[in-house]
């Protein structure tokens, strides 16, 4: 029996794959709507397809609707359900950030938490309420709202915030840095929930304004009070959500159906799937996943950065991924003692957090068996699945032929109509959406897609970390590029001396000292 309380629900298909994540103010009322006969037979084709695919569901109760919204966004990003549209991008909820090591700390809004030594508050589900509350905090504690890292009297001699008494103006010496830090720490305590006194004050002012028939002022105070309550409400944080791979109910049946549909001599015990992920031609990566006996074999997952393709060319990227994967795999089969160096042509293995148990069979192999009969060591797949249509399939087939592997079965799965493309066959193969063979191919395709997107996101976050230089006042793309060209990364730049920074074109002694102080204030948290 579902409870009458806020929460989220996860709809699953017959394979246990999450296909939809939703939130509800009342779980029982919301979930029951999916199983009403009048709605199941309605005109909405997407809703009908979703309800027909539901075989099971899970619910998770929370304390409030904002908590449900936060958890819903987290789960959608984690599972990428096929029937969800919102929250599937990289956009995150807003947080408040303040670095107490800055010369004159200021509160800013950010969507990304980085290990830069700053304090973060949030995330907050209601962005508008957060902005109103932050404005209220600045006025209540007389904090600055200007953008420079270190404002000074020369640039801000006529600062409007100081004239309006909204800021105590530490930049012109009205208060010391120690006194200003006390204001900032008080504001931090406020954002952590210690705001009862201000709530009482706003409530009293609102009642006095209403009694004096100052209704516009009372309405403004009412809105401020509502935003304050919304922002400072204590909510549970959902940092980590366990991920479970989709599993087949009857893998042997699915493999037999796949062999029959493709005309294979035997069910393919080893299936490898390829996918490409990029953003407008940048950060191009490829993933290789292997399924053994219809189930994920994570020890043989691989991922790689595309190195030889310029611009956005999915066909060339797929060709490079296939070439590097099987060039390396052939070398490992013929020489089991071959160890992959960093950045080798075959791609890198998935890190430890995604594979807990990696077998050590390669070190135990002394006499490798023939190429297709090496059950305990590296082996070629029985079927290769390419995520894409005829173009990607043709590029992969050409690379396999060049490596002498034209005998390996290879197919392409086009996502729009779930069509199966085969080399030399003009008409695509269309199986029913409930066909067990297609379900197996979809699981392989979706897993390769997940691994590629996860690797792309990891590289993107690594690249975003370089943007800490954007917070340094006065630095443009040219000087930022010069710094990264000389030192390679922000991490190496943190280790540089003032003299080494001053050697970079466009930097003098004064700017180098300022940048050194900026980086020291934003040192990663221990």
Summarize the confidence of residues 384-394 as an average pLDDT: 92
Sequence-ordered alpha helix ranges (H) in 263-300: none
Q: Mean pLDDT across the stretch 263-269? A: 92
Per the CB < 8 A criterion, the answer to whether 243 and 78 are in contact is: yes
126-151 average pLDDT score? 79
Query: DSSP readout, 483-514?
Result: HHHHHSSHHHHHT--HHHHHTSTT--HHHHHH
Of the candidate ranges 22-31, 72-81, 441-450, the one whose mean pLDDT is the lowest: 72-81
pLDDT in tens, 330-341: 888 887 665 544
> For residue 82, is pLDDT > 90?
no
pLDDT tens, 84-125?
876 655 567 788 888 888 888 888 888 777 777 888 887 776
3-state secondary structure 120-154: EEEEECCHHHHHHHHHHHHHHCCCCCCCCCCCCCC
373 band by pLDDT with thresholds 50, 70 and 90: very low
Query: pLDDT category, 382, cuts 50, 70, 90?
Result: very high
115 in Cβ contact with 151 (< 8 Å): no
Tell me the three state secondary structure of residue 515: helix
| CA gap 443, 84 in Å, rounded | 18
| 454, pLDDT greater than 70 | yes
Cα dist from 302 to 77, 227, 350, 406, 468, whole Å = 22, 47, 6, 22, 31
Q: Which domains does the chain have, with CATH numbers?
A: 7-79 (3.40.1440.10), 99-232 (no CATH), 251-462 (3.30.420.340), 472-521 (1.10.150.20)
**What gap in Å lies between CA 168 and CA 143, rounded to an integer?**
7
> Which is higher by pLDDT, 241 or 300?
300
Question: What does the pLDDT look like over 8-39, one tens digit per residue?
Answer: 888 888 777 888 888 888 888 888 888 877 66
8 A C-beta contact, residue 166 and residue 145 = yes
Torsion 392-395-401-405 (CA) sign: negative
Q: What is the pLDDT of residue 157?
A: 59
Query: C-alpha distances in angstroms, 459 versus 313, 384, 417, 470?
Result: 19, 26, 31, 18
Residues 196-219 have pLDDT tens digits of 666 777 788 888 888 888 888 788
- pLDDT tens-digit series, residues 169-200: 888 777 788 888 888 888 887 777 666 666 77
Q: What 3-state class would DSSP assign to 363?
A: helix
The pLDDT assigned to 255 comes to 93
| Residues paired with residue 282 on neighbouring β-strands, in sequence order | 279
| 462-514 residue pLDDT tens | 665 556 777 777 777 788 878 877 887 777 888 888 888 888 888 888 888 88
Position 364 scores a pLDDT of 32
Provide the pLDDT for residue 8: 87
| CA distances from residue 512 to 30, 124, 478, 489 in whole angstroms, order as listed | 59, 37, 15, 16
pLDDT at 149: 74
Partnered with residue 98 across adjacent β-strands are 119
Residue carrying the six token digits 């269309």: 430
Mean pLDDT score of the chain? 78
Q: Using the structure block, give the residue that is written with the tokens 């490992």.
A: 332
3-class state of residue 21 by DSSP: strand
């Amino acid at each position: 029996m579902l409870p009458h309380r806020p929460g989220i629900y996860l709809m699953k298909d017959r394979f246990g794959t999450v296909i939809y994540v939703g939130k509800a103010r009342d779980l029982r009322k919301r979930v029951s709507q999916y199983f009403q006969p009048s709605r199941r037979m309605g005109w909405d084709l997407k809703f009908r397809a979703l309800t027909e695919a539901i075989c099971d569901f899970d619910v998770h109760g929370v304390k409030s609707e904002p908590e449900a919204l936060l958890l819903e966004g987290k789960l959608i990003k984690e599972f990428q359900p096929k029937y969800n549209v919102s929250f599937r991008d990289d956009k995150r909820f807003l947080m408040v950030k303040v670095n107490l090591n800055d010369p004159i700390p200021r509160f800013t809004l950010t969507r990304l938490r980085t290990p830069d030594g700053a304090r973060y508050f949030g995330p907050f589900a209601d962005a508008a309420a957060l902005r109103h509350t932050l404005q209220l905090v600045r006025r209540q504690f007389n904090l600055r709202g200007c953008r420079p890292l270190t404002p000074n009297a020369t640039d801000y001699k006529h600062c409007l915030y100081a004239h309006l008494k909204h800021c105590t103006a530490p930049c012109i010496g009205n208060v010391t840095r120690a006194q200003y830090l006390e204001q900032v720490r008080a504001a931090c305590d406020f954002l952590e929930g210690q705001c009862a006194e201000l709530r009482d004050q706003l409530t009293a002012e609102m009642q006095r304004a209403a009694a004096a028939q100052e209704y516009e002022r009372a309405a403004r105070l009412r809105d401020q009070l509502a935003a304050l309550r919304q922002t400072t409400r204590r909510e549970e944080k959902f940092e980590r959500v366990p991920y479970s791979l989709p599993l087949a109910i009857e893998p042997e049946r699915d493999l037999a159906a796949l062999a029959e549909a493709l005309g294979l001599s035997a069910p393919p015990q080893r299936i490898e799937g390829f996918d490409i992920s990029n953003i407008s031609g940048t950060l191009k990566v490829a993933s290789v996943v292997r399924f053994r006996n219809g189930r994920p074999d994570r020890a043989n997952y691989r991922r790689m950065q595309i190195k030889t393709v310029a611009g956005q060319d999915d066909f060339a990227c797929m060709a490079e991924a296939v070439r590097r994967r099987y060039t390396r795999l052939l070398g490992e089969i013929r020489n089991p003692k071959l160890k992959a160096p960093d950045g080798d042509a075959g791609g890198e293995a998935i890190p430890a957090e995604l594979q807990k148990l990696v077998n050590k069979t390669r070190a135990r192999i002394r006499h490798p068996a023939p190429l297709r009969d090496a059950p305990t060591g590296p082996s070629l797949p029985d079927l290769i699945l390419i995520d894409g249509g005829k173009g990607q399939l043709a590029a992969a087939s050409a690379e396999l032929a060049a490596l002498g592997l034209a005998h390996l079965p290879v197919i392409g799965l086009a996502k729009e109509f779930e069509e199966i493309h085969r080399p030399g066959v003009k008409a695509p193969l269309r199986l029913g959406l409930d066909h067990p063979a297609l379900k197996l191919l979809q699981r392989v395709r979706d897993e390769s897609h997940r691994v590629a997107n996860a690797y792309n996101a990891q590289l993107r976050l690594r690249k975003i970390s370089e943007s800490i230089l954007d917070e340094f006042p006065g630095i443009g793309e040219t000087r930022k590029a010069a710094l990264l060209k000389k030192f390679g990364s922000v991490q190496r730049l943190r280790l540089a001396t003032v003299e080494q920074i001053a050697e970079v074109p466009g930097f003098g002694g004064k700017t180098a000292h300022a940048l050194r102080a900026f980086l020291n204030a934003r040192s990663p948290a221990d």
